[in-house]
Structure 1
């Protein structure tokens, strides 16, 4: 059974963390398979949006399966399969699963079906639209264990949330509820579990109706200019806008509006 399931549905890619019996924690196989999934959707021009979710009804992801990966990394145990061998051979994989090494400019929707602890909360910070089930919880408990949330949270969280909210999560180690996460701005929406997949589908379908080059330019600009001086950021923004304006999609949009029909965007 694959630790990560990648399913392509037309212009959508659905990535499912698939270890519900282990709280969807990321073991060696999951590290490699998730890195491969991100690489595949990045390279597939037909994919316009990614939905990230998890199997089961209790846990989205409770972090890394340290009982498996730490002994592997420290040499206490030897790799048991080709995927674990790849994890040892490629030091970029931990950054790639968190979309740190190479950004993904396609929109990513997270459907959070339960607890997101440690690396689970860190992984969510690499997504764009986040829908949480009502019973979901979020926490970075690493300081309680003498370590730090070093998979992106110490950089991303204070840029995504107001300082006091971010530091409450980073320093306190205590979980926040879905309702609290919504009030902080950590998630976009909270829904009953039974409605979670449908809401994620709604957002994915809506994104697929937009012009893909425009969406990628918007996300690229938001990510790349976040720490730029304003003048440099506005210059970058205009470069992205100009590139999109030269596309066939930019001509198709106004044409479809005049003809009173839905636009047929091709990503070119």
Structure 2
């Protein structure tokens, strides 16, 4: 059984973490397949939005499978298949799965079907719109094991949330509920589990109706200017706006409005 399910639904890419019997914990196979999935989303111009979710109704992802990964990385055991060998050969794969090394400017929606602990909470910080089932939980328990959440959380979380909320998750060690995560701003919306799929589809379809170059410029600007000075940030924003205004899509939008029809954006 593949650790990652990758499905193209028209202009949408659906990525499903697929180890429900193991709490969707990330092993070597999942690392490599998730890195490949993100690369396909990045490279395929037909894909306008990605949705990441998980199999089952209890766990989104409860971290990394340290029992498999640490012996592999330390040489205590040999790779058992081609994917584990790729993980050893490419030390950047852990960064790639968290979109640390090379940002992905296409919109990413997370449909969080259960507990997101450790690496699960870290992965969510690489996404844009986050819909959680009402029984979901979030947490970074790494310090309890004597390690740190080093897949992006020590940098990202305090930039994405108010400082005190971020530090409660980073230092507290205890999971927070979906309702608490919503109040903090960690997630965008909380719904009953049976509505999760439909809400993710709603957001994905809405993204696909909009101009892809415009959305990517918006996300790129939000990410790249986060720590810049106001002057540098506004300059970058104008560069992005100018590039979009020169696109065919920028002409198609007003034309469609004038002709009272839905625009046909092509990402050009």
How many matched pairs? 268
Corresponding residue of 1:106: 106
User: Cα deviations across residues 175-231 of structure 1 (Å, max 9, x unaligned)?
Assistant: 000000000000000000000000000000000000000000000000000011111
Corresponding residue of 1:118: 118
CA distance in 2, matches of 1:126, 1:136: 18
SS in 1 for 2:102: coil
Are 1:47 and 2:21 counterparts? no
User: Cα deviations across residues 134-178 of structure 1 (Å, max 9, x unaligned)?
Assistant: 000000000111100000000000000000000000001000000
Q: For residue 241 of structure 1, report the CA deviation from its aligned partner.
A: 0.2
CA distance in 1, matches of 2:80, 2:168: 39
Q: For residue 259 of structure 1, report the CA deviation from its aligned partner.
A: 0.5
CA distance in 2, matches of 1:244, 1:261: 21
Are 1:17 and 2:17 counterparts? yes
Corresponding residue of 2:97: 97
CA distance in 2, matches of 1:35, 1:138: 23
SS in 1 for 2:149: coil
Structural mapping, 1:113-152, within 5 Å: 113-152=113-152
SS in 2 for 1:171: helix
RMSD over equivalenced CA pairs, Å: 0.3
CA distance in 2, matches of 1:188, 1:177: 14
SS in 1 for 2:50: strand
TM-score, length of structure 1 as denominator length: 1.00
Corresponding residue of 2:198: 198
CA distance in 2, matches of 1:21, 1:102: 31
Corresponding residue of 1:242: 242
SS in 2 for 1:106: coil
Corresponding residue of 1:65: 65
CA distance in 1, matches of 2:173, 2:123: 17
Q: For residue 32 of structure 1, report the CA deviation from its aligned partner.
A: 0.3
SS in 2 for 1:263: coil
Corresponding residue of 1:156: 156
SS in 1 for 2:6: strand
TM-score, length of structure 2 as denominator length: 1.00
* Structure 1 stretches of at least 4 aligned residues deviating more than 6 Å after TM superposition: none
SS in 2 for 1:241: helix
